[in-house]
Structure 1
Amino acid sequence: MTQSHLVRGVDHAAFPTFAPKETIHFYRDVLGFPVVHATCALGWGPARHPDFIHFFFDIGQGDRLAFFYYFGVEPYRDDNIPELIHRARHLAIHVGTEEDLMEYRRRLDASNWPCELQVRHETVESIYVHDPNGYLIEFARPLRAITPEDDVDANLSVEALLAVADEPAPTFARFLELKAELIAERFAGEPAGVTLV
């Protein structure tokens, strides 16, 4: 039986990073992939899930490469790392509409691999499932267009991450504090309601 597909290619592939400065330098500065989005997640996920920043590089044709940096997780010394690596690595497939997303949810729920999670992030709504090999697959549809303000926010988030990564014990609270300082510095003296581009 042949079924049509409604996907529009890769939305993003995602991996964890335990070396955020080097990762940003390699992809942004060496390869020239611009930072186009960042999600700052405080208290998101199941119990014991660390706070994180999820940042995205544009790799062309609407595709993105994304990384998770987990605050308070020490590489090679934290028992939580294998689970975080398993949860973070995934392929996100792009669909265009809510109807397309719900069609994939219907197909999954009618199969041996039902949808495990449906969530609305800042700019996308996603469903998640593990395939028969245990790989996490996400289907993502846009909730709104990405704006120049999102790019500004993403780059301020990455700059704050670069600064906090130099500290002996980076925390999400310190990351947010540094990001607020960068925003204040960048927009000091600007009238209220100014466009952030």
Structure 2
Amino acid sequence: MSTDANPQAPKPEHRVKGVDHAAFPTFDPAATVHFYRDVLRFPVVHSICAAGWGREKHPDFIHFFFDIGDGDRIAFFYYFGLEPPHGASTAPGDSWGRLPEGTPGYFVDSRHLAIHVDDEEDLMEYRRRLDDSEWPVEMQVMHETIESIYTHDPNGYMVEITRALRPVTPQEDLDAELTIDALVEVAQGEAPSLDKLLLRKAELIVERAPRWAEEQEATR
């Protein structure tokens, strides 16, 4: 029975709202963007640039997201300067499920499933359930627009449960578009880095500002 008509009614036991995003690493962000954005025409909807993050020391990275419909997203991590693990292959059809021994933990955990919940109450309920189990929460993190808890399932796969802290604005969608355009250019050059990405993004803002001003003036 729906609780919408009665806000005082207890929440159901099943509180999740489907997949927020499934995430994977990439060694070729330009080709990844071309495939998902340009070929499949999945819009870029969010991006995060970070100078390292998490429990392990690791390279600067960008985490970028594509809209795949019904509020679901597919996301990728690109770690600046990280070479494919020895013995691994990025050839079509090869499985990243067969990662060589010694692959960094942050790279393994970048392949994860994120499940969406509505609010803090739901997130804390799942934290309680996990903390009372054999798989307690390992991290609780405030990102730019979301709050997430993380654990590993019995198979060793990372599972994230996440809630939105606020809606993503159109300005942030535009920021993601600029970030990804800069990433595609930088990733195809020599020695890609987060600093080069951010510099190119700043240049794109300056280059495109006159066009945006004209578009704004035309809508008045």
TM-score with structure 1 setting the length: 0.90
Whole-Å Cα distance in 2 between the matches of residues 106 and 122 of structure 1?
Answer: 24
Superposition deviation, residue 84 in structure 1:
3.7
Q: Deviations over 1:118-160 (max 9, x none)?
A: 0011110000000011010000100000111111011111011
Distance 1:80 1:30 in 2: 34
- Aligned 8 A contact 1:73 1:81 in 2: no
Counterpart CA distance in 2 for 1:86 and 1:174 is 26
Alpha-carbon distance in 2 for matches of 1:96, 1:156: 29
Partner of 1:150: 172
Which of 24, 47, 52 is the aligned partner of 2:33? 24
Unaligned ranges ≥5, structure 2: 1-11, 89-100
Q: Which has the larger radius of gyration?
A: 2
Is 1:89 aligned to 2:111, yes or no? yes
- Where structure 1 has 5 or more consecutive residues not aligned to the other structure, the ranges are none
Shift >6 Å, 4+ stretches: none
- Distance (whole Å) between structure 2 residues aligned to residue 150 and residue 181 of structure 1: 17
Contact 1:75 1:81 in 2 (8 A): no
Between the two proteins, what is the percent identity of the paired residues? 62
Q: Does 1:44 pair with 2:53?
A: yes
CA change 1:75–1:20 in 2 (3 A) is same
Q: Does residue 1:74 correspond to 2:83, yes or no?
A: yes
Report which stretch shifted further, 96-105 or 164-173: 164-173
Cα distance per residue 1:91-134 (max 9 Å; x no partner): 00000000000000011111111000000111100000000110
TM-score (normalised: structure 2): 0.81
CA distance in 2 between counterparts of 1:168 and 1:81 reads 24
State the distance in 1 between where 2:147 and 2:23 align: 16
Aligned length: 190
- Partners of 1:156 and 1:190 in 2: CA distance: 13
